[in-house]
Amino acid sequence: MAPEGNRLGGGYLDFEQKVAELERQVEELRKLGMKKGIDYSVEIRRLEKDRIAELKRIYSNLTAWQTVQVARHPQRPLLTDYLNLMVKDFRELHGDRCFGDDRAIVTGIGQIARNKVLIVGQNKGKTTKEKIVCNFGCPNPEGYRKALAKMKFAEKYGLPIVTLIDTPGAYPGIGAEERGQAQAIAVNLTEMSRLKVPVVCVCIGEGGSGGALGIAVGDRLAMLEFAYYSVISPEGCAAILWRDGSQAPDAAQALKLTSKDLHKLGLVDAIIPEPVGGAHRNVHDTVYNVESYVAQTLAQLQRMKLSELLESRYRKWRSVGTDHGVRAGGKSGTRIVSTGGPAGARRGPSPARV
């Protein structure tokens, strides 16, 4: 079985016990001050200072498994938060024109900063009813086909594409396999590499296996600081290698799934900072940081000629797994990185396959 006790009461994770105690003391002092009419502002400020210092200490030294727990936090901002706070005049586009409208992937046109874009995002849902409708963020083949159809629409009208990745993985049901889950993802990988418009991908939470990769082939790939991106979930890896889900923390460490590890490996172009204590503690600042990154990156990409854009994208993905890709990654100890070019793109010229 997977490790238990990931969260304490009140939405605190199991490694945040001291933070929970400090916040409890602050709340008690506020109630006591209101009841007795005594000013405890000095004591409250001291406790708040201690709380911030403790959060900084904890979140500057998270293990891989703790990062996974933060990425899965129930209060972490989801796709709907980004659509509501970051995208103006969002108009959803439905259906794959083949089977149905998968609610685990949302597509639509809108405006981010000054850019009219197509947004493709994975939706986990917030309420229990929404989670069931969205398959808990696990897309079916029709979701990937819908995403590709809308991307082709965006290409036709010259709209840049922004994808927001947040999924435990593609839905593994029998029906999904019968309808061509693997093929749908594979076709997306091929076609996204050829799109003649800028494509910016951001992992905002969980980046699980091919389910994430199906909308993650672009000119730039960024991750929120405490998101994760992996070929398999830590629990799945532990079950396969050790036949014991309780080994998930060790599996998470071995998978190198954190933003820092992936930037060092040259797989990720930028790490977008999260507020102190994670995105779930300050949704607005998190969304603002993502919006700023997307706006700056689109401005950079839109200055490139189409041939340069496609060549750069081709070289970026061809270099994955090579020494060139690793050398182009971040330096050891780098906390927040926003690179000027794609990770792993430093290699000799080779013709783009379009």
Considering the domain architecture, whether residues 38 and 168 belong to the same structural domain is answered as no
- Please tell me the predicted confidence (pLDDT) of residue 51: 87
Predicted confidence band of residue 348 (pLDDT cuts 50, 70, 90):
very low
For residue 5, is pLDDT > 60?
no
Considering the domain architecture, whether residues 269 and 170 belong to the same structural domain is answered as yes
- DSSP notation for 287-299: HHHHHHHHHHHHH
- Outline where 87-173 has alpha helix (H): 128-133, 141-156
- Please tell me the predicted confidence (pLDDT) of residue 283: 94
**Residue numbers of the domain that contains 259:** 70-327
Number of domains making up the chain: 2
Considering the domain architecture, whether residues 238 and 302 belong to the same structural domain is answered as yes
Boundary (domain end) residue, out of 61, 83, 99: 61
**Mean pLDDT value across residues 9-13:** 72
Q: Could you report the per-residue pLDDT of 91-147, keeping only the tens digit for each?
A: 999 988 889 898 999 999 999 999 999 999 999 988 999 999 998 989 999 999 999
Considering the domain architecture, whether residues 53 and 187 belong to the same structural domain is answered as no
Q: Could you report the per-residue pLDDT of 314-338, keeping only the tens digit for each?
A: 999 988 877 665 545 544 334 454 5
- Please tell me the predicted confidence (pLDDT) of residue 54: 87
Task: With respect to residue 207, please indicate whether it lies within any of the assigned structural domains.
Answer: yes
- Please tell me the predicted confidence (pLDDT) of residue 214: 93
Considering the domain architecture, whether residues 236 and 309 belong to the same structural domain is answered as yes
Task: With respect to residue 205, please indicate whether it lies within any of the assigned structural domains.
Answer: yes
Are 228 and 209 in contact by the 8 Å Cβ rule? The answer is no
- DSSP notation for 201-218: EEEEEEEEHHHHHTT--S
Considering the domain architecture, whether residues 130 and 40 belong to the same structural domain is answered as no
CATH number at residue 136: 3.90.226.10
Percent with pLDDT over 70 in the chain = 88
Task: With respect to residue 76, please indicate whether it lies within any of the assigned structural domains.
Answer: yes
- Please tell me the predicted confidence (pLDDT) of residue 331: 45
Considering the domain architecture, whether residues 103 and 33 belong to the same structural domain is answered as no
Measured distance CA(71)–CA(87) in Å, rounded: 22
Mean pLDDT of the chain: 86
Percent with pLDDT over 90 in the chain = 62
Q: Could you report the per-residue pLDDT of 190-214, keeping only the tens digit for each?
A: 999 999 999 999 999 999 888 899 9
Considering the domain architecture, whether residues 245 and 138 belong to the same structural domain is answered as yes
Task: With respect to residue 343, please indicate whether it lies within any of the assigned structural domains.
Answer: no
For residue 40, is pLDDT > 80?
no
Task: With respect to residue 57, please indicate whether it lies within any of the assigned structural domains.
Answer: yes
